[in-house]
Amino acid sequence: MSKYTLSINGESREVEAEPDMPLLWVLRDRLGLVGAKYGCGKGLCGACTVHLDGNPVRSCTLRVADVGDAAVISIEGLATGNGLHPLQEAWIEHDVAQCGYCQTGQIMSAAALLANNPTPNDDDIDAAMAGNYCRCGTYIRIRAAIHSAAKNTQSSVGQPGRSVVSHWVPAQTMEERS
Amino acid sequence: MKTNLFDEVKLGLQQQSISRRGFLKLSGITGGGFVLAATLPSFADELGTLVGSAELNTFVQLSSDGTITIYSARPDMGQGVKTSLPMIVAEEMGAKWDDVFVLQSEVGEEYGGQWVGGSNSIAASFNMMRQMGASAREMLIGAAAETLELPREEFSTNNSEVIHESGRRFTFGQLASLAIKQPLPDEDSLTFKDAEDYTIIGTSVSGVDNLVITTGLAMFGIDTEVPDMLYGAYHKCPAIGGSVVSANLAEIKALPGVKDAFVIEGNGRVDQLMPGIGIIGDSTWAVFNAKQKLKVNWDESNASKDSWRDLVKTASGLKDKRGRNMVVNKGSVDAQFDKKSNKVVEGFYTYPFVAHFCMEPMNCTASYVAGKAGEKDSIEIWVPTQNPASVGPTVAGLYGLENDRIEVHVTRLGGGFGRRFSNEFVCESVELSKRVKRPVKLTWTREDDIRHDYYRVGGFQALKGAINKKGKLVAWDQHFIGMRKDGRAVSGSRFSRNEFPLPNLINARGTSTMLDIATPCGPWRAPGANTHAFVVQSFIHELAHLAGRDHLEFLLEVMGKRQWLNPGNIRSLNTGRAIDVTTLAAKQAGWGKKLPAGRGLGLAFHFSHAAHIAEVAEVSVDKNKKLTVHRVTVAVDVGPIINRSGALSQVKGSIIDGLSTMVGQEITMEAGRIEQSNLHDYPVLRIPAAPEVDVHFIESDNPPTGLGEPGLPPLAPAVGNAIFAATGHRVRTMPLSKEGYSV
Ligand code: FES
Ligand code: FES
């Protein structure tokens, strides 16, 4: 057992873990951050995706000993200020999730994409998201939600975070979604 | 920094779990779905009699601030019932959807059926949900009528208000404490809204759990954490049914984080507790890591010896024979085959076993507490299950306890697809907890999940058909080669005389042969339908081609005249609806349009789960047999749509899941061992291959029913037929990768 000081969602967190323990299990079993999911344990499904210094990584194959002082952002740290991340808003607006299990990983991959490429086309989206499997088959809405979040990110630059209330789409106004 | 939002939401969730049945107030977020703060209104104690009936107060609660709590009794696995069923209640009540929030109910008989599967929830619960809503509405109206001393006929509800003809109105919240005291309306006196007055049913509503899902706060089974909990893994013989002779337990116990490791004898039941090794540790990783280092000597004398290669060999030896069991035999099939002027075609179709691959692997958390001072033992269980009511009795039976000693909590499910009906992962977690006298969260590795599934059964069908001089289908002979286990056909391996097109034809014969297997099989998204549709709808296309006729016209002719085969029974084919969806899908897809070389349209129809669905796939095939599925056009008749957004999502998801399955998925076994284990050898469809999907609903007067499954079966034959249209090559073996195709 070794001690590690990790930077998780902007906070410094002390954990005791075996050096080989993947970051996924440190987050889930040691820190109680269960938003990153276990799907395959082999880096093949993307359910465990978090950001390491802004890059999307599969936390199931990243040893805790190799994290060092890199900044880890998990889904729990994606929203900042008082508002959701534009992708979280778009995911709700487009009613993307079915079972929802893969979606935190999908959103983290999409967030890394938008951070590097604020206006991705379908091919950019496909390339960035191909590592994230969804058994429920929500890919079509994932594409649509990324496009609409990209638009919102563009237009809301410099805007203060929106209040939580605006994140819900009332039944009456929600158009038929793709 | 963690955000305020995160902490607030998390706090609300914790309070929800502490006080699930308590009275909880939604604050800040409209539209329902989760709880930010718990406040007990002054009349909380009276809530038990809110509507005076056990049934009613089970589903609807109202607070003086106008918050309407609706319980969802059926588990949500992605099919969306946690949103759609409460929509029905809210509609009849005259509620504003923004005032509604939804809580998952506990397990109990008072909730009616709680299992989820068979695309059955909407069909089975629609009426009950309407009654709950209508009953609540009548009590609110009664309260308003009494207050104003005016006849109740002069009141109606809308937008969470009770409104008098004169325009005077009360909010539901204002009436809450009076409504409680109203007598329970007689069930027979309840009336229901006309469909044209619906304001919630038929609209698009975003799922009630979407906020917690997108923020990582949704609690799936695998996220369960209870005080003092340890982590568990369970290792069973890779050949299903083997038992433990010895294992390197001393070595395992010395591994980091491992607290204990032991042999479990089990009771030999695949659906309960098979022999295996239990490993307990202080993290999931500790037990997964230890599992990889396990060395076990298995006794495989009673284990499965199944071999897919042998099954294939046996079946191909049967393809020119008829099955021993006669399923249907009518008209003069052989005479038509013998007729010189008729043309005959034969096709032998093969489909593999496939795994469920729920994104959330099987898991369960259990706390076995030994009874003190003469008390009986008790067990608390947290589980993602499709069958909540089965959990308690199964575990009670295993440990010789009364059912009232078992408390079951249902979590959100990371996928179901028929996999989460069985209770072996429940029994395993209970056994682990009993051994270590602490709560244990058992998580299966993905490898466990793939190797110890209840598989979608594989199988074979040999077909022969005859076309007469006029190009009409005049004989159909279908030999179904299915699988049985312990003398009974497994799920998805039944061949019914009602299978389309047998009832529609004059000269038709259906026979079956059952091969014995030991591999467990179970329901998998549209059982039976997901393979029958592929075979039948592909072969009808073969016949149309043989006849030199347009596939659409030929298929409509096979459907025959418009009739409901078993009138009044929504589970029986209605050829009128079949013709309508097929015609609509073809029209919307531009059937008959000119396409470049290497590109084709493929059509298929299938009736299952009370749903009539037709699909047209537009597919290109390049010279390396790489497919592009450009677009799938779907026409659906499941009657009225409850949540349009959810319904679209189910259809699109079914198309993508169907494509994923047909392209590369195959479970094979040799010497009883499943040969696949994870995504490297069990390929799945990724986002770049996702087609456009264009869905058209015919909202007929069919009673509303579910859409979790029936969109999937027509996809494989539609794509297969499109490949034929594009290339002239007939696909008769699934997955497509077997014949060299890729996406
Ligand atoms: S769990 Fe990490 S990629 Fe699948
Ligand atoms: S929403 Fe269920 S796996 Fe993606």
Q: What is the pLDDT of residues B312-323, one digit of tens each?
A: 999 999 999 999
Domain coordinates of chain B in residue numbers?
5-214, 221-302+362-443, 317-355+455-739
pLDDT at B177: 83
B57 pLDDT band, cuts 50/70/90, is low
Name the phi and psi angles at B213, rounded to 5.
Answer: -65, -45
Question: Would you say residue B11 has pLDDT above 70?
Answer: no
B45 pLDDT band, cuts 50/70/90, is very low
B438 alpha carbon – ligand 1 mean position (Å):
29
Token readout for B491 is 């799920």
Q: Are both B5-214 and B317-355+455-739 of the same fold?
A: yes
Nearest to A75 among B77, B215, B225 (CB): B215
Q: What is the mean pLDDT of chain B?
A: 91
Q: What is the pLDDT of residues B694-739, one digit of tens each?
A: 999 999 988 899 999 999 999 999 999 999 999 999 999 999 999 9
Kindly give, in sequence order, each residue whose CB lies less than 8 Å from that of residue B203, ignoring residues fewer than 6 positions away.
A171, A172, A174, B643, B644
CA distances from B340 to B68, B320, B543 (A): 72, 20, 17
Question: Would you say residue B47 has pLDDT above 90?
Answer: no
Q: How far is A23 from chain B (nearest CA, A)?
A: 10
Best of A101, A107, A139 to mutate for ligand 2, by most ligand atoms within 8 A of CB? Answer: A101
B125 alpha carbon – ligand 1 mean position (Å):
37
What integer is the mean pLDDT of B57-77? 86
Q: Read off the amino acid at residue B286.
A: A
Cβ atoms of B479 and B461 within 8 Å: the answer is yes
Question: Would you say residue B31 has pLDDT above 50?
Answer: no
pLDDT at B44: 31
Question: Would you say residue B23 has pLDDT above 90?
Answer: no
Interface test with B, best of A134, A148, A174, A178 (most B CBs within 10 A): A134
Token readout for B677 is 């284990």
Question: Would you say residue B406 has pLDDT above 80?
Answer: yes
Is A130 within 8 Å of B686 when comparing Cβ atoms? Answer: yes
A59 alpha carbon – ligand 1 mean position (Å):
7
What integer is the mean pLDDT of B222-249? 97
The proportion of chain B whose per-residue pLDDT surpasses 70, expressed as a percent, equals: 92
What integer is the mean pLDDT of B251-275? 97
Name the phi and psi angles at B262, rounded to 5.
Answer: -155, 160
Closest of A86, A111, A87 to residue A97, by C-alpha: A87
Chain B environment of A37 (Cβ under 8 Å): 220, 222, 359-360, 414
Place of tokens 């004059």: B506
pLDDT at B62: 87
CATH fold of A86-165 reads DNA polymerase; domain 1 (1.10.150)
Tell me the C-alpha distance between B399 and B395, whole Å: 6
B480 vs B112, more confident: B480
B contact residues 448-507, partner A, Cβ 8 Å cutoff: none
B113 vs B272, more confident: B272
Strand ranges, E, within B271-411: 276-281, 296-299, 325-330, 343-351, 363-369, 378-383, 406-410
Tell me the C-alpha distance between B342 and B540, whole Å: 16
Tell me the C-alpha distance between B35 and B14, whole Å: 9
pLDDT at B179: 87
> What is the DSSP track for B660-727?
HHHHH--B-EETTEE---STTTS----GGGPPEEEEEE---SSPP---SSTTSTTHHHHHHHHHHHHH
Is B688 within 8 Å of A127 when comparing Cβ atoms? Answer: yes
What integer is the mean pLDDT of B684-692? 98
Identify whether B501 is preceded by a cis peptide bond (ω within 30 of 0): yes
Name the phi and psi angles at B447, rounded to 5.
Answer: -65, -45
Beta-carbon-side half-sphere exposure of residue B670 (alpha carbons within 13 Å) = 3
pLDDT at B216: 96
Q: What is the pLDDT of residues B78-128, one digit of tens each?
A: 999 999 999 999 999 999 999 998 988 888 888 888 888 888 888 888 989
Tell me the C-alpha distance between B68 and B140, whole Å: 12
Domain coordinates of chain A in residue numbers?
2-75, 86-165
Closest of B27, B35, B38, B30 to residue B9, by C-alpha: B35
Could you tell me the sign of the dihedral formed by the alpha carbons of B334, B340, B342, B348, in that order? positive
Residues in chain A where the model's pLDDT stays below 50 = 155-178
pLDDT at A164: 30
Cβ atoms of B354 and B665 within 8 Å: the answer is yes
CATH number at B317-355+455-739 = 3.30.365.10
CATH fold of A2-75 reads Ubiquitin-like (UB roll) (3.10.20)
Token readout for A83 is 């508002």
Q: What is the pLDDT of residues B125-178, one digit of tens each?
A: 898 999 999 999 999 999 999 999 999 999 999 999 999 999 999 999 889 888
Closest of B205, B220, B274 to residue B244, by C-alpha: B274
Token readout for B421 is 């009906």
Domain B5-214 has CATH 3.40.228.10: no
Strands B276-281 and B230-236: antiparallel
What is the side-by-side order of every strand in the sheet holding B60-62?
B60-62, B68-72, B100-104
Q: Does A39 touch chain B (CB under 8 A)?
A: yes
Question: Would you say residue B28 has pLDDT above 70?
Answer: no
Question: Would you say residue B9 has pLDDT above 70?
Answer: no
Question: Would you say residue B41 has pLDDT above 80?
Answer: no
Q: Does A4 touch chain B (CB under 8 A)?
A: no
Question: Would you say residue B492 has pLDDT above 90?
Answer: yes
Q: What angle do CA B111, B132, B88 make, to 5 degrees?
A: 100
Q: Which atom of ligand 1 is nearest to the CA of A41?
A: 1
Chain B environment of A143 (Cβ under 8 Å): 687, 690
Q: What angle do CA B410, B236, B682 make, to 5 degrees?
A: 80
Question: Would you say residue B520 has pLDDT above 60?
Answer: yes
The proportion of chain B whose per-residue pLDDT surpasses 90, expressed as a percent, equals: 84
Q: What is the pLDDT of residues B603-662, one digit of tens each?
A: 999 999 999 999 999 999 999 999 999 999 999 999 999 999 999 999 999 999 999 999
Q: What is the pLDDT of residues B551-582, one digit of tens each?
A: 999 999 999 999 999 999 999 999 999 999 99
- Would you say the pTM of this structure is higher than 0.90? yes
Q: Which atom of ligand 1 is nearest to the CA of A24?
A: 2
pLDDT at B105: 86
Is B412 within 8 Å of A100 when comparing Cβ atoms? Answer: yes
Q: Does B692 touch chain A (CB under 8 A)?
A: yes
Q: Which atom of ligand 1 is nearest to the CA of A60?
A: 2
Cβ atoms of B212 and B34 within 8 Å: the answer is yes
Q: What is the pLDDT of residues B387-402, one digit of tens each?
A: 999 999 999 999 999 9
Hey, what CATH class is B221-302+362-443 in? Answer: alpha beta
